[in-house]
Amino acid sequence: MIRRTGIGLLFLSLVAFSALGQSLSPFSDGDRVAFLGNSITDGGRYHSFIWLYYMTRFPDRAVTIYNGGIGGDRVVEMEKRLDADVLARKPTKLFLIFGMNDSGYSEYLTEDPGVFGEKIVAESDRNYQQMERRLQALPDVEVSLLGSTPYDETSVRETEPFVGKHSAMQKIVDYQRQSARDNGWGFFDFNEPMTDLNRKFQRIDPAFSLSGFDRIHPDNDGHMVMAYLFLKAQGLANQPVAQVEIDARKARASAQQNCSISNITRDAHQLTFAYLANSLPYPIDTIPLNGEYNARQSDALRIVPFMKEMNNEALKVKGLDEGIYEVLIDSVRIGSWTRKELEEGINLAEIPWTPQYQQALAIMHLNERRWRIERELRDYTWIQYYFFEKRGLLYADDKVAMEALNAAIPHDKWLTGRRNQYALLMHREVREAYQDQVDILISKIYEINKPKTHLICVRRSGN
């Protein structure tokens, strides 16, 4: 039997999220944040998307986020590498996410799904108890548990689903939730809201899935949805990039939030003012990223209200005469709107050619390059724990290790694509050089992410 079951827990699962303490504290200046997880963390981008939000929204809040994922890991493997791979980075905040691998796979096709589900969840809970004790002994680390993204059994596609796996994963989320309550830790469940979104959009497109091509790994849109849900759980929804309201007739700012407005002037043809926001807009990638992923980060915008709740740089201008007006920022024309549209407000964060959006795009590209180098370093760590640890060669990085790897490659497809990368990174000096590149990129990001003062001009079209 699993220790966290019964009528009380069933009742808890029906209570509103807020009553369950389903919230996460936002990151503070100087926080070192580690996400400990499986392949969804290892090869995914949700933590990078979250960091990009902090890079642009809080430019003076220096946060560091670490990818602590290893593909294929269950919580038992995560506990084994907790010290060397995660705590060695001295995190101030640790997020633990597991459940996908812990709940099994093809066994649901060969065994009774209900019986197997109960057995595998009980095993996962026993394995977690050792991790729980380890986490309880970390007084200087703020711990939070994250319920795994869902296994999608309902999407219509060629691969046969493992029916019963989703139910088992929900039970793992239940004991994670209770553990967080018992220990006073943060908690957030990706499973339920992403399952709800899957089912909602599958009514329109039966093949839709936030769980990717294999029902398991979210694509770029799914990782952006994860980032949105995570930031929302941190209480960051409805906090604008900036909000500006100008009374053109009186040539004054009637409202401003998270920005400063100065030097407002108006003549017969145009209104100008200086605008300094405290944040930058969040840049959204509009092309599919490499690898097995086909979706775009921007595809998430049709699934969740990220732009409305998380990326609103609102400009309203009231008191204009009827007509069409051009808006220029630093002499760059960004578009034209009617008097009514400007009075209702436009979202500058939706316009990629504003100077502030272009500034944010540079940060996005630097962050993407940082992510790619970090991913290569994660492949080195993966091969250590997937292969060498089981053979007593953990971090040996010598002739014996290389020979063992070469001998195993013909029999293990997972090793083949990582062999050449390991041959590079087995050398400490190469790993240090990779990390130096990451550090330079982070330093550059926090150098260029400071908002600048821009001159905004609103003028009647044709002048």
| Cβ neighbours for 62, distance < 8 A, ≥ 6 positions apart | 29, 30, 446
| Cβ neighbours for 66, distance < 8 A, ≥ 6 positions apart | 32, 33, 34, 35, 86, 89, 91
All residue ranges of the chain with pLDDT < 70 are: 1-22, 289-293, 463
What confidence score (pLDDT) does residue 293 get? 62
- All structural domains of the chain: 7-233 (3.40.50.1110), 242-278+312-463 (no CATH)
Burial class (CB in 10 A: 0-12, 13-18, 19+), 160: exposed
What confidence score (pLDDT) does residue 17 get? 38
Starting at the edge strand that comes first in sequence, how are the strands of the sheet with 346-347 ordered? 252-257, 242-247, 313-318, 346-347
Rg (CA), the chain: 25
Q: What is the dihedral of CA 195, 198, 201, 207, to 10 degrees?
A: -160
According to the 3-state scheme, what is the secondary structure of the chain? CCCCCCHHHHHHHCCCHHHHCCCCCCCCCCCEEEEEECHHHHCCCHHHHHHHHHHHHCCCCCCEEEEEECCCCCHHHHHHCHHHHHHHHCCCEEEEEECCCCCCCCHHHHCCHHHHHHHHHHHHHHHHHHHHHHHHCCCCCEEEEEECCCCCCCCCCCCCCCCCHHHHHHHHHHHHHHHHHHHCCEEEECHHHHHHHHHHHHCCCCCCCCCCCCCCCCCHHHHHHHHHHHHHHCCCCCCCCEEEEEECCCCEEEEEECEEEEEEEECCCEEEEEEEECCCCCCCCCCCCCCCCCCCHHHHHHCCCHHHHHCCEEEEEECCCCCEEEEEECCEEEEEEEHHHHHHCEEHHHCCCCHHHHHHHHHHHHHHHHHHHHHHHHHHHHHHHHHHHHHCCCCCCCHHHHHHHHHHHHHCHHHHCCHHHHHHHCCHHHHHHHHHHHHHHHHHHHHHCCCCCEEEEEEECCC
Q: Which residue has the tokens 């060397």?
A: 84
**How far apart (Å, rounded) are the C-alpha atoms in residues 96 and 143?**
8
Q: What angle do CA 160, 164, 168 make, to 5 degrees?
A: 135
